[in-house]
Amino acid sequence: MAHLVESAPRPIPVRTCRHTVDLMRGVPLVPLRPEVEVIRAGRRIQLVRASLFDGAVEVARSTSLRMRVAEAPNPLDPARTAHAEDEPHPKPATSMLLSMTDVGLPAFLRAVEFRREEEYRSGAPGLAWLRMHNAMVAGHPTSAFVRLATLADMASMAAQYLDHEEWTTINADLNVTAFRDPVGDWIGIRGLHKNDGDGIGLSEAVLYDLGGRVGRATASILIEPR
């Protein structure tokens, strides 16, 4: 979906700063028909809608906010808004590699390198580092925001503390907000999962590159016993 948004016309220099995806139903592993439309084309703010269809049935929809990029350097001092969360530790080079093949995850995730600060297990929150080994769309370079939006979808997994042998979890949406594009291949996710015991949960995550914080992701989680 983020790739569709990035392909939409840009009459002025803009950057995607918010990307919201709603999953309308289960998405089949078949060729899907994409549609993308700029529904607000302002001079400073743009709104882009993208959809994926299985035949005539819409299976996923996103709306994305794009803001103009200032021509002059920003006079604001980032240090004035610095926070302890802004610095990601540990770095991926000192984190443990998790084999996606060993845990039986779907094929796409096997193309993602996943590292954590400790052995992955339910109930072990912490900082995870991920990077993609393949282009999201064959023949097209993967933009910084596409990489961020794609890997942010793993926030619920990074934050999960439920025993996957007893519970299933599905994220019905994904909301990614970024105040800058990530630099480099690595995306860091520091996740937190909450639920109220009624089968509805929330995953929150701070998103990083190697230089520090870039944004945040949230997802609404449906929880059911196996």
Quick count: other Cβ atoms within 10 Å of Cβ 145? Answer: 24
What is d(CA 66, CA 10) in angstroms, rounded to the nearest whole number?
Answer: 10
Hey, where are the domains in the chain?
Answer: 1-70, 88-226
Q: What is the pLDDT of residue 106?
A: 57
Superfamily, domain 88-226: Acyl-CoA thioesterase, double hotdog domain (2.40.160.210)
173: amino acid identity, one letter: D
Give the pLDDT of residue 56: 95
In 10 A of CB 97, how many CB atoms? 11
Pick the CATH number of 1-70 from 1.10.287.990, 3.10.129.10, 3.30.300.30, 3.90.1580.10: 3.10.129.10
How high is the pLDDT of residue 101?
47
- CA–CA separation, 65 and 80 (whole Å): 25
Q: What is the pTM of this model?
A: 0.85
List of residues 6+ apart from 18 with CB closer than 8 A: 64, 65, 175, 176, 177, 178
Q: What is the pLDDT of residues 41-63, one digit of tens each?
A: 998 999 999 999 999 999 999 99
Q: How much is the pLDDT for 94?
A: 61
Is it true that the peptide bond before 92 is cis, omega within 30 degrees of 0? no
Low-confidence ranges of the chain (pLDDT < 70): 72-91, 93-108, 117-126, 158-161
Query: Which pLDDT belongs to residue 160?
Result: 63
Q: How far apart are the first and last CA of the chain?
A: 30
